[in-house]
A and B are shown apart, each in its own frame.
Chain A
Amino acid sequence: MSLWRRHPILITAFAIALVLTLAFALRFTAQVLYWSNPAHQNQRVEAWMTVAYIARSWEVHGPDLLIEAALPVSTKGPRTLARIAAERGLPVAQIIAEVEAAILRMKASQP
């Protein structure tokens, strides 16, 4: 009790820091629970993503997604959808639509 009487501000600051630490830990736990739900995991397909990245986000097999979306297999390292579109002279929106359609078909055929 004497410590509390002598250093009330310090002990209050310590308690606040402890509560904040706990709050961040709880927030982290809540985020893990939220994001481990597959429905929340899927990230909308965008031009800057590679096929492997999209496959991870949507939990489909990467090489299969390439085939399903009729995309060329890259020999020069990873390429984003924007780059693939540029190489094929197509608008990137069309490539995105093809990939999204391919994902839906793959999801539908999954047991």
Chain B
Amino acid sequence: MSEWALDAVPTYGPWLVALVTFLSCLAVPVPASILMLAAGGFSAVGDLVLWQVAAAALLGAIAGDQAGYWAARLGGAGLMERLSHSVTRTAVLTRARALVASHGVIAVFLTRWLLSPLGPYANLVTGAARFGWAPFTLAAAAGEAVWVGVYVGAGHSFAGNLSAATEFAGSILGFLAAGAVAAGLGWWLITLGRSDS
């Protein structure tokens, strides 16, 4: 699958990348991250254009998020009922629902890149719960920008070696996630320290 898809990247370029990020936001198992890495690599050697690859990946992902959100919002309880028939899907839906209920926009933001397997389900949950469209869209687009930026960026800066680019993307995502948690907890501690004294 990914061998065939990789071969199509230089030919279909941004269109293929947009299609793949769109589908991955609808929980279709496509190799979105590896294709973004490869497209970033091809853009570094002049086969593709970097901004086109990045814009296509971002627009595809944003459109995919909107599709999931609106399907659940318009399809409502009936759609969610049908989706819950699969046991594994019920499990991820439950996790996504708990996360969105407790953290709202932060959950939407983080499920784009840090907890990306939950992303498509967070879209459904927010849509079905009639979560505000504007905050959803802003948080989702910001999260997708991180996802696309890290993968296309790592592919671009480490063109010519897909395994290196994959490892780099992993480290950068881990660093960003752990750093964000540390900053958040640090801020919380500072606030507590002030109110305690």
Contact = CB atoms under 8 A, between A and B. Distances in A.
A47 B42 contact: no
B161 A57 contact: yes
* Interface residue range, chain A: 35 or more
B53 interface: no
Secondary structure at chain A's binding surface: helix, strand, loop or mixed? Answer: helix
A46 B160 CA distance: 11
Interface of B: 3, 6-7, 9-11, 38, 41-42, 44-48, 158-164, 167-168, 171-172, 174-175, 178-179, 181-182, 185-186, 188-189, 192-193, 196
Given A23-B178, A57-B160, A78-B47, 16 more contacts: A6-B196, A17-B181, A20-B181, A21-B182, A24-B172, A28-B175, A31-B167, A31-B171, A35-B164, A35-B167, A40-B164, A43-B160, A48-B3, A52-B47, A56-B159, A80-B10
Interface of A: 2-3, 6-7, 10-11, 13-14, 17-18, 20-21, 23-25, 27-28, 31, 35, 40-43, 46-48, 50, 52-58, 62, 77-80, 82-83
